[in-house]
Amino acid sequence: MAKENEKSAKLDKGKGKAADTPEKKDGDTSKETQDKNGNGAKKGKKDEPQEEELSEEDQQLKSELEMLVERLKEPDTKLYKPALEAIKTFIRTSTSSMTAVPKPLKFLRPHYKSLTELYEQWPEGENKVAMADVLSVLGMTYADENRLDSLKYRLLAPMEDPGSWGHEYVRHLALEIGAEFTSRQEKEEDTQDLTNLTMSLIPFFLKHNAEADAVDILLELEIIDKLPPFLDENTYQRVGLYMISMVPLLSPPDDKTTLETAHSIYRKYNKLAQAITLAIRLNDVDLIREDLDAAEDPVLRKQLAFLVARQQISLDTPDQDINEALNNTRLSEHFAALGKELNILDPKTPEDIYKSHLENSRGPGASADSAKQNLANSFVNSLVNAGFGTDKLMLVEDESNSWVYKNKESGMLSATASIGMLYQWNVAGLDVIDKYMYQEEENIKAGAALAIGILNCGIRTEPEPAMALLCDDSYLESKSVPIRVCAIMGLGLAYAGSQRAEFLEHLLPIIGDSSITLQVSAMAALSLGLIFVGSSNGDISSAIIQTLMERAEGDDPSLKDKWGRFLALGLALLFVGRQDDADVTLETLKAIEHPIAKHGGVLVDACAYAGTGNVLKYQSMLHLCNEHIDTSEDEKKGEDLFQSYAVLGLALIAMGEDIGAEMALRQFGHLMHYGDGIIRKTVPLAMGLLSASNPQIKVYDTLSRYSHDNDIDVAVSAIFAMGLVGAGTNNARLAQLLRQLASYYHRDHNSLFMVRIAQGLLHMGKGTLSLNPFHNDRSVLSRVATAGLLTVLVSLIDAKSFILESSHYLLYFLVTAMHPRFLITLDEDLQPLPVNVRVGQAVDVVGQAGRPKTITGWQTQNTPVLLAYGERAELEDDEYISLSNNLEGLVILKKNPEWQGRD
């Protein structure tokens, strides 16, 4: 007992603590005179400090509790029940501050040991259960790592509502349940009693605004799917929001289970817009179709169709109006309306973008290579005027002086293809492209095929012009490599994400055909990867792996060719976001004895976990960057390519979650300091991918530093990354940095070409387009956009062999990620409906009490409006009700029947 009292004295405040100071040795008089009371405390450790501290009221409470404890020790069993009831009443009625232990618990704590011994001696019965109930509460004060007394005695004294003991007790109990569950799982013991106890805590948590605690304990016990029956109209939204915000922090399969549970919650409360967003994240086409069919209101179905169309998931319905929304058919119209509203319909020339008069001219420079300059102008012109259908370069009346002929060879191809980007999403452009399809020059004909693919990227129209024109034998079976490659690439772009089975018979045979060049086979694999992105299609993966095996066994030197990487990339794109589904493919790749198998394995692994924030995969990618490979010998050349894929993998995995992205940026700094050349030249590209269309000062300032690197490969990557980071934002600071780079590299044709491309990207769509693969309030990762961005970055790892040589047309893979960053409000007939909205910086309100503001620093604007990365919009008043859960993209508004008019 004395020892127990010593322990309790430590809990007391202030003066009482002096009681536990060690006795001074003889001669140690330094503090002797400070506190005479202290010496008194030493003499009577048990009594004096407490007597001094306790008020009359507290002393009375202590005496009463001690008397009740004594009663429990007496042989008369009739006294037990009233004594236990009195102790319970004292504990329940005590009030305490947040920082202090309730008085009854404090005074009972010294008797805890004797009470537990009493419990063991008592016979089974009602009194013993009541005693266990009290001991469970007292066990809170004995918070020892290995002693889970609260839980132990609670299981011995089951009660329907443990919440009657208060919030702190329930939280403590939940903590112990989690610890015990983990311990039992390791020993493979039964956990049903813990599950039952947990289910009795959930109503208490939900009733007392502790939704997060309820979700946490269910997740810890791996029974999150049992949550929905406990929810009601008041709690489901907060719970759903918390569950969704947790997903990036969970490991498989918990992340999928949590999304499925949240989906069922939203379906139960008929919040179909939120439900279909989660079905899209799960990449479950059957679930998406189910949600779409569940909408009885035809207007709501159109809104859901817009959400599905944004992810470029191909669905067919008998309803023509819904199909029109699902196929993005009117996207071009809406984009033109935005341009008209913002007064930016007038075409811009490349010179309007370069502003050469502001560059510090240093004498004659790159103008000597006019072909490269013209090629850059073709790209910049198409990027800046993308989707507007007008320009001052390509679409001119005078045919004899056509811009196409001012380019050389493959330059003609890219120049012709740029017409597709000028008319993006607008089938009216097919008439303009048509005249180039019958030209003798193979590069112009190839460019026209590619233009058709670019124009149809992201939309579907009846009849299907891309399939009709590009699947023709004169293109798909052409003897000319450029024509064949561009036709295959065009199909990949036009049907990206559609998963249409008919393309298997057209393109699968090309992959395995060893009589043709690897370039054509690789492009067929890449296009199938784009069309079936994130589907883990077994036929395609088998065909690509079979081709890799055959070529590796036959010691085919072409596998080391620069185009070989696109075979591996095509395979990787099939598994974007599939996580564990890629495991079989990864094991199969290990059986191929060729460096390309390792490269492909890293790419597949990175794509499988794209946007998940999975820490273990992130660490494995970092580990790959740690290896040092000597590539000085000819036969080992290119064997370190997997390291550059690992760097891109870091960005792919981390970009799903803000904290992970922040950490990745720090890691990239270390890699730039200590990494080999192949890693250093990929880091800027990875930074660009991590912050696409999101110009943060710290990111582009770092890239600006890298753009002056001694290693020209690093500089070229950094220049492109600057364009990618600022894509479609018109960021003035970035524009100034790029102008400075143009004068810095005025003698280096390749670097200057890349500066021009970056300038074009910065002003993409005159500042109305975005390349960021996330949408729906940055919660959904577009697989198609990720695939296109990754393809361009993989080609830029070796920029001198692709983009800066004759394969610059690979830059057009960016169109899969290009999308207007607008908010357009429509009425029920899908006609534009201008309303006032507040646009501001998005605020994370997960777990906050009440109804906090979801945006900060807003401005009121009239729709249509542009939304930058990290911005959110909300309606100014309640006159209309939005059918979408987020104001982003195309949003249908319904008149609010309860609207009383403005005050």
User: What are 67-115's pLDDT values in tens digits?
Assistant: 888 888 888 788 888 888 888 888 888 755 555 667 888 888 888 888 8
Chain segment 304-337, per-residue pLDDT in tens:
999 999 999 988 888 888 999 999 999 999 999 9
| Residues above pLDDT 90, as percent of the chain | 54
Mean pLDDT of 415-419: 93
**Among the residues of 394-516, which ranges form H helices?**
410-422, 429-434, 442-455, 465-470, 473-476, 481-494, 502-512
More confident residue, 358 or 419: 419
Q: What pTM, to 2 d.p., does this model score?
A: 0.88
Residues 815/856, Cβ–Cβ less than 8 Å? no
pLDDT, residue 19, reads: 38
More confident residue, 15 or 714: 714
pLDDT, residue 395, reads: 83
Q: How far apart are CA 677 and CA 705, in angstroms?
A: 17
What ranges make up the beta strands (E) of 181-266? none
Mean pLDDT of 571-577: 94
Q: How far apart are CA 11 and CA 5, in angstroms?
A: 10
3-state secondary structure 343-395: CCCCCCCHHHHHCHHHCCCCCCCHHHCHHHHHHHHHHHHHHHCCCCCCCCCCC
pLDDT, residue 52, reads: 44
Q: Is the pLDDT of residue 664 over 70?
A: yes
Residues 856/874, Cβ–Cβ less than 8 Å? no
Among the ranges given (66-75, 416-425, 668-677, 711-720), the one the predictor scored with the smallest mean pLDDT: 66-75
- pLDDT grade for 856, boundaries at 50, 70 and 90: very high
Q: What angle (nearest 5°) sits at the alpha carbon of residue 800, between those of residues 796 and 806?
A: 95
Residues 136/164, Cβ–Cβ less than 8 Å? no
Q: What is the DSSP letter of 820?
A: E
Q: Is the pLDDT of residue 120 over 80?
A: yes
Question: Is 38 strand, coil or helix?
Answer: helix
Q: Is the pLDDT of residue 22 over 90?
A: no
| Residues above pLDDT 70, as percent of the chain | 91
pLDDT, residue 634, reads: 64
Q: How far apart are CA 497 and CA 785, in angstroms?
A: 10
Give me the amino acid identity at 672: M
Q: Is the pLDDT of residue 297 over 80?
A: yes
The region, left, alpha or beta by phi > 0 then psi within -120 to 50, assigned to residue 889 is left
pLDDT, residue 47, reads: 44
pLDDT, residue 164, reads: 81
pLDDT, residue 77, reads: 81
Q: Is the pLDDT of residue 820 over 90?
A: yes
Q: How far apart are CA 741 and CA 733, in angstroms?
A: 13
pLDDT, residue 73, reads: 83
Q: Is the pLDDT of residue 18 over 60?
A: no
Burial annotation 63-91 (CB, 10 A radius, 16+ → b, else e) = eebeebbebbeeeeeeebeebbeebbebb
Q: How far apart are CA 703 and CA 726, in angstroms?
A: 12
Q: Is the pLDDT of residue 485 over 70?
A: yes
Q: Is the pLDDT of residue 604 over 50?
A: yes
Q: Is the pLDDT of residue 605 over 90?
A: yes
CA 74 to chain centre: 64
pLDDT, residue 398, reads: 66
pLDDT, residue 361, reads: 59
Q: Is the pLDDT of residue 422 over 50?
A: yes
More confident residue, 451 or 69: 451
Q: Which fold has domain 610-629+636-820?
A: Leucine-rich Repeat Variant (1.25.10)
Q: Is the pLDDT of residue 21 over 50?
A: no
What is the residue whose two structure tokens read 């179709």?
Answer: 289
Residues 790/739, Cβ–Cβ less than 8 Å? no
More confident residue, 33 or 112: 112
Question: Is 460 strand, coil or helix?
Answer: coil
Residues 607/575, Cβ–Cβ less than 8 Å? yes
Q: Is the pLDDT of residue 739 over 80?
A: yes
> Of 512, 471, 463, nearest to 491 (Cα)?
471
The region, left, alpha or beta by phi > 0 then psi within -120 to 50, assigned to residue 409 is left
What number of helices (H) and strands (E) belong to the chain?
Answer: 42, 11
Q: How far apart are CA 440 and CA 203, in angstroms?
A: 75
- pLDDT grade for 875, boundaries at 50, 70 and 90: very high
Q: Is the pLDDT of residue 848 over 90?
A: no
Structural domain boundaries in the chain: 270-327, 331-362+375-486, 496-605, 610-629+636-820, 822-895
- pLDDT grade for 39, boundaries at 50, 70 and 90: very low
Q: Is the pLDDT of residue 562 over 90?
A: no
Q: How far apart are CA 566 and CA 801, in angstroms?
A: 13
pLDDT, residue 126, reads: 86
Q: Is the pLDDT of residue 794 over 70?
A: yes
- pLDDT grade for 721, boundaries at 50, 70 and 90: very high
pLDDT, residue 2, reads: 45
Mean pLDDT, rounded, of the chain: 86
- pLDDT grade for 770, boundaries at 50, 70 and 90: very high
Q: Is the pLDDT of residue 631 over 80?
A: no
Q: Is the pLDDT of residue 425 over 70?
A: yes
Mean pLDDT of 624-643: 79
Residues near 267 by beta carbon (within 8 Å), at least 6 away in sequence: 275, 291, 294
Q: What are phi and psi of 327, to 5 degrees?
A: -95, 5
Beta-bridge partners for 836 = 862
Q: How many CB atoms lie within 10 A of CB 378?
A: 29
Q: Is the pLDDT of residue 549 over 50?
A: yes
Q: How far apart are CA 671 and CA 664, in angstroms?
A: 10
What is the residue whose two structure tokens read 């390749």?
Answer: 750
> Of 646, 637, 552, 650, nearest to 603 (Cα)?
646
- pLDDT grade for 15, boundaries at 50, 70 and 90: very low
Among the ranges given (28-32, 370-374, 421-425, 439-443), the one the predictor scored with the smallest mean pLDDT: 28-32
Question: Is 865 strand, coil or helix?
Answer: strand
Cα maximum dimension of the chain: 115
Give me 806's structure tokens.
Answer: 């004759």
Gyration radius from the chain CA atoms? 34
| DSSP code per residue over 770-781 | E--SEETTTTEE
pLDDT, residue 40, reads: 44
Residues 839/859, Cβ–Cβ less than 8 Å? yes
Q: How far apart are CA 262 and CA 267, in angstroms?
A: 9
Among the ranges given (84-93, 764-773, 783-792), the one the predictor scored with the smallest mean pLDDT: 84-93
Mean pLDDT of 120-149: 81
- pLDDT grade for 713, boundaries at 50, 70 and 90: very high
**Which element (helix H / strand E) includes 308?**
helix 298-310
Q: How far apart are CA 494 and CA 424, in angstroms?
A: 11
Q: Is the pLDDT of residue 289 over 80?
A: yes
Q: How far apart are CA 880 and CA 894, in angstroms?
A: 5
